Structure 1
Amino acid sequence: MKSHSSTLLAEVRTFRQNHPDVRYVDLIALDIPGRFYGKRYPVEMLEKVAAGSPLKLPQNAVLLGAQGGLFKIGDYCFHDGDPDANRRLVPGTLKPVSWEAQPLGQMLITSDGTEAPIEFEPREVLAKVLERLHRKGIHPVVAFELEFYLFDKKLNDGLPQFARDPLSDDPDDQPTLHIERLSRFAPVLDDMVQTAQTQGIDITVVTAELGPGQFEINFGHLDDGLRAADWAALFCRSTRGVALKHGYRASFMAKPYLQHPGSGMHVHVSLYDAAGNNLLAAHQQQPLRHAVAGCLALLPHCMPIFSPNHNAFRRLGGTVNAATKACWGYEDRDACVRIPESDPRNLRIEHRLASADANPYLVLAAILVGLEHGLDAAQEPIAPLNEDRTSGHDFPLEMLEAVRAMQQQPVLREGLGAEFVDVYCENKRQDHLAFQQEINAREYRWYL
């Protein structure tokens, strides 16, 4: 513990030396809906925390709804006195913030690794899954890909407008899937990449996607699943800030336009043993097939994680490369679980179902539990799409049905933690019901 504190203290002191103009640091963590909460600390107080002073925030901050309010969930929120819970600083995440008007820093905090971790904190849920896999001799290597849209900074009657192309007055004149769009938006995209790299994130490939103003960012592969999810979360935060600085609005909303493709979170996962051997490639790739079967078996029960809100369900099945069933295939982007062509060393699955606004810690945790279940059950998967285009299991396409499917699934309750599953499902149910408590203009047009 002393060595851990001294490492953190050295990190804070080095940061202060390199950034003497920074007076405050945002200490941040991801809540259940995937939004950051936290506190802004004077940098001199951060040094005390790094040296071992307690860092406490309300436990129930993790339970915030999509709009920031609290719901009654079991004995939490309104029957527990709103207690504080210990957090710790995540080493290596203290970085400068360049998109704000004043010099700031930011640093991730978490309850995992504390004396009393919060069972329903997303990062803690993933940490427990990874610890269990490591005890079994399974070491995941993970890479995220995130799609997002650029919009004009100002909304029009609350509706998003296409990002203004510097070379065209016509908002529809944006070359899709074309390298030219990367050039047209180079100033903001370059700043996003450089800012992410300053945060310690390994950005690899930038792609212009099919939707107008839509892009995809790929991250490097990591043998630390927690850090891989950290990268995805931090990238969303920095990208929104950089976009505003350039006069745009960046959004990871799953389906901003009905007529254009939605934005997804694709996760590449390979599994290795302690000696570095790819477990999925052993025995003529039989473990790969078992892992796929496990993923597909649990996928219909994980939909509240993969599609965490009403809008995210709109993304499914309506446009290019968005699956309508739990299915798999080799080099097939219509599949939820795609097996990219690769050599045995790099054999992996690409899980393509989650929306871009899903919680990366929980998405990865759910995928890993599916892989683990498949390896344990050792069952063969259904036919791949390459052999049968109709192959696949149905999954829920609306939130309340999805919550019911998730809450009673015994493998998920054991793999992710029963307390987490109950809390998460109730949070999603309450969020969905709150979203429905508004009459929109279409209802008056149809029913008045």
Structure 2
Amino acid sequence: MKSHSSTLLAEVRTFRQNHPEVRYVDLIALDIPGRFYGKRYPVEMLEKVAAGSPLKLPQNAVLLGAQGGLFKIGDYCFHDGDPDANRRLVPGTLKPVSWEAQPLGQMLITSDGTEAPIEFEPREVLAKVLERLHGKGIHPVVAFELEFYLFDRKLADGLPQFARDPLSDDPDDQPTLHIERLSRFAPVLNDMVQTAQAQGIDITVITAELGPGQFEINFGHLDDGLRAADWAALFCRSTRGVALKHGYRASFMAKPYLQHPGSGMHVHVSLYDAAGNNLLAAHQQQPLRHAVAGCLELLPHCMPIFSPNHNAFRRLGGTVNAATQASWGYEDRDACVRIPESDPRNLRIEHRLASADANPYLVLAAILVGLEHGLEAAREPIAPLNEDRASGQAFPLEMLEAVRAMQQQPALREGLGAEFVDVYCENKRQDHLAFQQEINAREYRWYL
């Protein structure tokens, strides 16, 4: 513990030396809906925390709804006295914030690794899954890909406007999938990449996607699943800030336009043993097939994680490369679980179903539990799409049905933790019901 504190203290002191202009640091963590919460600390107080002083925040901050309110979930929030819970600083995440008007720093905090971790904190859920897999000799290597849209900074009557292309105001004039669009938006995209890199994030490939003002960013592969999810979460935060600085609004909303493709979160996962052998490639790739079968079996029960809100369900079906069934295939982007072409050393799955606004810690945790379940059950999967284009298993396409499917799945309750599953499902149910408590203009047009 003393050595750990010494490392953190050295990190904070080095940061202060390199950034003497920074007076405050945002200590941040991801809540259940995937939004950051936290506190803004004077940097001198941060040094005390790094040296071992307690860091406490309300436990129930993790349970915030999409709009920040609290819901009654069991005895939490309104019958537990709203207790504090210990957090710890995540080493290596103290970085400068360049998109704010005033000098600022930020650092991730978490309850995992504390004496009493919060069972439903997303990072803690993933930490437990990874710890269990490591205990079984399974070591995941992970890479995220995120799609997002750029919009004009100002909304028009509450609706998003296309990002203004420097050469044209016509959204139809934006070259789809062309390298030219990267050039037209180079100033903001380059700043996004440089800012992410300053946060310690390894950005690899940038792609102009199908939608007007839509892009995809790929991250490097990591043998640390927690850090990989940290990268995805931090990239969303920095990208929104950089976009505003350039006069745009960046959004990871799953389906901002009905007539254009939605934005997804694609996760590449390979599994290795302690000696570095690819477990999925052994025995003529039989473990790969078992892992796929497990993913597909649990996928319909993970929909509240992969599609965490009403809008995310709109993304499923009817557009390019958005699956409508739990399916798999080799080099097939219509599949939920795609097997990219690779050599045995790099054999992996690409899980393509989650929306870009899903919680990266929970998405990865759910995928890993599916892989784990499949390896242990050792069952054959359904036919791949390459053999049968109709192959697939139905999954819920509405939140309340999805919550019921998730809450009653034994393997998921065991893999993610029963307390987490119950809390998460109730949070999603309450959030969905709260969203429905508004009459929109269309209802008046149809039914008045």
TM-score interval, normalised by the smaller of the two chains? over 0.9
CA distance in 2, matches of 1:381, 1:336: 13
SS at match of 1:394: coil
CA distance in 1, matches of 2:60, 2:13: 31
TM norm structure 2: 1.00
How far 1:172 sits from its partner (Å)?
Answer: 2.4
Deviations 1:137-169 (CA, angstroms, capped at 9, x unpaired): 000000000000000000000000000000113
Deviations 1:77-113 (CA, angstroms, capped at 9, x unpaired): 0000000000000000000000000000000000000
Question: Counterpart of 2:318?
Answer: 318
- 1:302 matched to 2:302? The reply is yes
SS at match of 1:412: helix
CA distance in 1, matches of 2:330, 2:75: 46
CA distance in 2, matches of 1:223, 1:435: 38
CA distance in 2, matches of 1:71, 1:408: 21
Deviations 1:198-253 (CA, angstroms, capped at 9, x unpaired): 00000000000000000000000000000000000000000000000000000000
- 1:86 matched to 2:86? The reply is yes
CA distance in 1, matches of 2:167, 2:300: 44
How far 1:173 sits from its partner (Å)?
Answer: 1.2
SS at match of 1:200: coil
How far 1:345 sits from its partner (Å)?
Answer: 0.2
SS at match of 1:172: helix
SS at match of 2:87: strand
Deviations 1:117-150 (CA, angstroms, capped at 9, x unpaired): 0000000000000000000000000000000000
SS at match of 1:75: coil
Deviations 1:345-383 (CA, angstroms, capped at 9, x unpaired): 000000000000000000000000000000000000000
CA distance in 2, matches of 1:355, 1:86: 31
CA distance in 1, matches of 2:62, 2:169: 44
SS at match of 2:145: strand
Deviations 1:266-307 (CA, angstroms, capped at 9, x unpaired): 000000000000000000000000000000000000000000
SS at match of 1:158: coil
CA distance in 2, matches of 1:168, 1:316: 31
- 1:161 matched to 2:161? The reply is yes
User: Which runs of structure 2 are paired with 1:14-413 in the superposition (5 Å)?
Assistant: 14-413=14-413
SS at match of 1:277: coil
Q: Which runs of 5+ in 2 are unaligned?
A: none
TM norm structure 1: 1.00
Q: Which runs of 5+ in 1 are unaligned?
A: none
Moved segments of 4+, more than 3 Å: none
How far 1:170 sits from its partner (Å)?
Answer: 2.0
Q: Identity of paired residues, percent?
A: 96
Corresponding pairs, count: 448
SS at match of 2:216: strand
How far 1:422 sits from its partner (Å)?
Answer: 0.1
How far 1:318 sits from its partner (Å)?
Answer: 1.7
CA distance in 1, matches of 2:303, 2:214: 24
How far 1:171 sits from its partner (Å)?
Answer: 3.0
How far 1:56 sits from its partner (Å)?
Answer: 0.0
CA distance in 2, matches of 1:16, 1:236: 25
Deviations 1:318-361 (CA, angstroms, capped at 9, x unpaired): 20000000000000000000000000000000000000000000
CA distance in 2, matches of 1:287, 1:171: 46
CA distance in 2, matches of 1:326, 1:170: 37
CA distance in 2, matches of 1:27, 1:167: 40
SS at match of 2:171: coil
